[in-house]
Structure 1
Amino acid sequence: MLQIFSLCKMQHPFHGLFSFCLHQIFVAEENVDFRIHVENQTRTTDDVSRKQLRLYQLYSRTSGKHIQVLGRRISAKGEDGDKYAQLLVETDTFGSQVRIKGKETDFYLCMNRKGKLVGKPDGSSKECVFIEKVLENNYTALMSAKYSGWYVGFTKKGRPRKGPKTQENQQDVHFMKRYPKGQVELQKPFKYTTVTKRTKRIRPTNPS
């Protein structure tokens, strides 16, 4: 509830004294759904903060294999450590928006207007941007930033599902991040510098 106060001064009609009146105005404030604000900010690309580049694999819950970017063709049939399953993921520090590129082919994982997963050599289009969602079961889902409600998904045979046929609660769209065998995270962890309290220096006393 937002309260606005105004103060007015008026003269009494029978004598010269001034009296003051205080008006209190109540303005009803509409309920604001903060989730809408978060979703709007999530869809906004962060062009100011430093980008993070990570190298990992995406393990498909349904196929039991990893996503592969085979040029223009996409599948989820990659074994652990497969060169086509190694993905370079560029993330914004705010918004959880990512661009996913195959390390071996330099093609980006994208979703076209028909909801089909395709590989493209140029990842600047919004069709190649996905929003990471960490689910309650600790799996990750990738929703298209351009086509809301459409997710990256695969069948048990590792074939891509079309975006319109996917939902967040389907196992087909659930993935787990895994680092390739022998690989470590590209992004180095931030190291904190420990500052100790400076002790007072004691000067030696001169002998008398």
Structure 2
Amino acid sequence: MCKWILTNGASAFSHLPCCCLLLLFLVSSVPVTCHDLGQDMLSPEATNSSSSSSSSFPSSFSSPSSAGRHVRSYNHLQGDVRKRKLYSYNKYFLKIEKNGKVSENCSFSCILEITSVEIGVVAVKSIKSNYYLAMNKKGKVYGSKEFNSDCKLKERIEENGYNTYASLNWKHNGRQMFVALNGRGTTKRGQKTRRKNTSAHFLPMVVMS
């Protein structure tokens, strides 16, 4: 609150009539409200844009303490299903037979469904036998009738354009174990595989519906 205050210089007005002095006194006693000039100088457009921008700011970029914050999610990648034939670098198609045996073959029975179950993790299932490609703790590659932790494989595209499939849960002496077919088309133990070995490299071939 601001007031008009008569200073000692008021004596300079001594020559004025009493009615004028009384009027000056009344005016000086009336309180005057001082407005925030900084706020008044903002245009209506600027004020509206400021309020609208704050209200329309994406909730995903709000501060960590804000309630209801949306965490970035990649769920759209899960459940993606691809029909492929896995063609090995050694020129064999991977097949999962009805008895659970994993071998090589080039027929309808080697068509596989590759499903994303996590980011970078897939499940490989034979359409013909309904068995999943799996690797146990001992590095044995086999076909599993039911989906379990052995069936989770880390899929990675290597520099030569081929894919590798490593067990998500099992390692040997700290090293990853890979699905691989040797020169005769039979599976190799995971302990004997390495990422750089071409026997563990597979080319996913698109199956035309």
Shorter-normalised TM range: 0.5 to 0.7
Distance 2:189 2:116 in 1: 24
1:52 aligns with 2:80: yes
1:12 — aligned with what? none
1:150 aligns with 2:177: yes
Give TM-score, length-normalised by structure 2.
0.59
1:111 — aligned with what? 135
2:114 — aligned with what? 89
Equivalent residues in 2 for 1:1-208 (5 A)? 48-49=75-76, 50-62=78-90, 64-71=91-98, 72-75=100-103, 77-79=104-106, 82-92=107-117, 95-123=119-147, 125-148=148-171, 149-180=176-207, 183-184=208-209
Percent identical pairs in the alignment equals: 22
- More helix per residue: 1 or 2? 2
Give TM-score, length-normalised by structure 1.
0.60
Q: Deviations over 1:59-92 (max 9, x none)?
A: 0112x120001021001x222xx12210011114
- The number of residue pairs the alignment matches comes to 131
1:23 — aligned with what? none
1:193 — aligned with what? none
- More strand per residue: 1 or 2? 1
Q: Unpaired runs of 5+ in structure 2?
A: 1-72
Distance 1:129 1:151 in 2: 12
Distance 2:124 2:158 in 1: 19
Q: Which runs of 4+ in 1 moved over 3 A?
A: 46-50
Distance 1:100 1:122 in 2: 12
3-state DSSP of counterpart to 1:98: strand
3-state DSSP of counterpart to 1:146: strand
Pairwise CA distance, 1:47:
9.0
Pairwise CA distance, 1:141:
0.5
- Which amino acid in structure 1 is aligned with residue 84 of structure 2? Y
Q: CA RMSD in A?
A: 1.7
- Which amino acid in structure 2 is aligned with residue 170 of structure 1? N
Q: Unpaired runs of 5+ in structure 1?
A: 1-45, 185-208
